[in-house]
Amino acid sequence: MAARERTKVLVLGPPSEPFWAGLAEMVDWTDLTIGVDPQAVEGPLAEAEVVFSWVDAPDLAPYWSRARRLRWLHSALAGVNGLLFPALVESNVVLTRSVGVYADSLAEYALAAMLYFAKRLPEMKEAQRLHEWRRLAPVDLRGATLGVIGLGDVGLAVARRGRSLGMRVVGLRRSRGAPPAGVDEVWPAPALCEMLGRCDYVVVTLPLTPSTRALFGPAELRSLKAGAVLIDIARGGIVDEQTLLSLLESGHLAGAALDVFAHEPLPLESPLWSAPNLLISAHTVDNVAGWQERAVALFLENSRRYRAGKQLLGVVDKARGY
């Protein structure tokens, strides 16, 4: 029996990282190339059947015409908006994303941000700085309503944590349907404003697509109930930052936590830096120890599935963008 042809795999990433050791089992059935310099990988790209695009990988669009043998492209990112150039969208290449790799760390941050405001930690720290014995009135999350915008792997991880603390969890997705585990009620996308008016905490977990860009505009943000907290762990460009700033300055919102911004890094002159009751993190809450190994492990699992002809994990609907 003739030997099975070896699969040519190109990993677009820095070649000397220790976490690539997880790919060792692939050498038995692949010709594996790891590199990040666009000119150096043009040759391997022309031969590659599989490409693993790491964080900060070079833009594939200028080299797409060379990738004539490519059948599967996997991204180390959870969101693939930066990969969806027209030629890829229109092609037959299967695109997968790193589903589940970042869900726990993002959900834990969302929970931390809710507790940050509910337990009035900023005021406690300020009182400590001033050496003031100030008795505050923190609130419990139990009984509060948590709105999760987007019920993918991250949204469901947020929902589970909210439910574990006794919160009522409502979720938004394109159509109403039956609630998934951990969610009490599902609202359809057209009812966003009505849903926002009933939530004490709102966590945005949506991918950035043409339909979600600027989804939280002035009307939607002003629908948030007085005293609510907004947490954005999705992508910059979904929430109107200027309107959010005005709602924080007016005191309509009790607080907000942003890990993502329309322009990153956030410009030094941005008024958001000085906004009251705003917690800023530099798109960093998923940058936890071990994420690289988990991303490599997912690619390895999908590679086994690919070789066996099984359904891949995290397949992206390229037309929808997620």
What amino acid positions are annotated as catalytic residues? Answer: 235, 264, 283
At 170, is the secondary structure helix, strand, or coil? Answer: strand
Question: Which H or E run contains 58?
Answer: none
Of 254, 252, 258, 184, nearest to 223 by C-alpha is 252
Q: How far apart are CA 281 and CA 259, in angstroms?
A: 5
CA angle, residues 198, 201, 202, in degrees to nearest 5? 85
Count of Cβ atoms closer than 10 Å to residue 321 Cβ = 19
Q: How far apart are CA 58 and CA 262, in angstroms?
A: 21
Strand order in the sheet with 168-173: 185-188, 168-173, 145-149, 201-204, 229-232, 255-258, 278-280
Helix extents (H) in the chain: 38-47, 86-90, 103-118, 121-129, 153-164, 192-196, 218-222, 241-250, 291-308
